[in-house]
Amino acid sequence: MGVEICVEGLTKSFGHQVIWQDVSLTLPAGEVSVMLGPSGTGKSVFLKTLVGLLKPDRGSVKVAGRDITKLREHELYEVRKLFGVLFQDGALFGSMSLYDNIAFPLREHTRKSESQIRRIVLDKMDMVGLIGSEGKLPGEISGGMRKRAGLARALVLDPEIILFDEPDSGLDPVRVAYLNQLIVDLNAQINATFLIVTHDIASARQVPDNIGLLFRRELVMFGPREELLTSDEPVVRQFLNGRMQGPIGMAEEKDAAQVEQELARLGDADRKPRHVGNDMTPRLMPGPGIARPPRWEAIARREAELHRKAVTGA
């Protein structure tokens, strides 16, 4: 279950403006990864390149062994059936009701009968908590509901890979927490490969297996969550702590001397070697009703271990 995505040397520019260059990473099959980055670093562009909506200048994106960037149009449409994508505003079809929106991929791609479709659609709507809103039009519901409906539509073909484009933008913190829980539950249930593009630090600390950070037109770092949360790389530390002192400036980036000065002023407290527990936000686990596959059992054991160490002050 789940499919690995292997990105190598990916470079994209619009005109003379380089968005990012030489991005290489592997999204491991069945794991949750988060791509972080300040606004305007091309996170959404990266996501669209992964599904072949945008063509990169160089590099390759291998999904299930096939290079997305070299496929012909009709092959691309085949490979895309592996993907479910949640767009920023849900990207629902404005002229259709929520029910028709969610049923749309089934009607287009399968020969299921209307009663089978109805069962699947209602099941997915139940999963995202939208039962009772089947007949509403996308224009009549709130942004949070549109996102959840978009998610239901992305899930309906049982995708192997699910991409989330800023699932938390424009939502209140409580709804973001619910949505994060939903993402974790989903991962435990369907074992698909997840990639979440966001700039919400709280979600990035709690949800993923892996974190990547895009900044200054390149991938600063990509690796397991623990590695990034405890990293001493200034950009990573600044971003994950959401503070002003560091290389990321309001406009773009600051000069090196200023960064040094700021970090020095921050004090030695920040530079001291710390043990792992300090920086580790506890990981969000699947809800009590969800059967945990072996992967999540292992994660739960590791989390319990870390927690014990933190409490006993190892």
- Closer residue to other proteins (CB): 78 or 305: 78
- Closer residue to other proteins (CB): 37 or 84: 84
- Cα dihedral 144, 147, 149, 155 sign: negative
What's the burial of 13, exposed, middle or buried (CB within 10 Å: 0-12/13-18/19+)? middle
What's the min distance (Å) between Cβ of 48 and other proteins?
A: 7
- Closer residue to other proteins (CB): 38 or 150: 150
Cα angle 104-110-116, degrees, rounded to a multiple of 5: 80
What's the min distance (Å) between Cβ of 97 and other proteins?
A: 15
What's the min distance (Å) between Cβ of 240 and other proteins?
A: 29
- Closer residue to other proteins (CB): 92 or 190: 92
**Secondary structure (H, E, C), the chain:** CCCCEEEEEEEEEECCEEEEEEEEEEECCCCEEEEECCCCCCHHHHHHHHCCCCCCCEEEEEECCEEHHHCCHHHHHHHHCCEEEECCCCCCCCCCCHHHHHHHHHHHHCCCCHHHHHHHHHHHHHHCCCCCCCCCCHHHCCHHHHHHHHHHHHHCCCCCEEEEECCCCCCCHHHHHHHHHHHHHHHHHHCCEEEEECCCHHHHHHCCCEEEEEECCEEEEEEEHHHHHCCCCHHHHHHHHCCCCCCECCCCECCHHHHHHHHHHHCHHHCCCCCHHHHCCCCCCCCCCCCCCHHHHHHHHHHHHHHHHHHHCC
What's the min distance (Å) between Cβ of 168 and other proteins?
A: 17
Instruction: Tell me which residues touch other proteins (CB under 8 A).
Output: 15, 48, 51, 53, 73, 77-78, 80-81, 83-85, 87-89, 91-94, 104-105, 108-109, 150, 153, 157
- Closer residue to other proteins (CB): 61 or 221: 61
What's the min distance (Å) between Cβ of 85 and other proteins?
A: 5
- Closer residue to other proteins (CB): 78 or 252: 78
- Closer residue to other proteins (CB): 107 or 301: 107
What's the min distance (Å) between Cβ of 165 and other proteins?
A: 9
- Closer residue to other proteins (CB): 92 or 229: 92
What's the min distance (Å) between Cβ of 229 and other proteins?
A: 31
What's the min distance (Å) between Cβ of 51 and other proteins?
A: 5
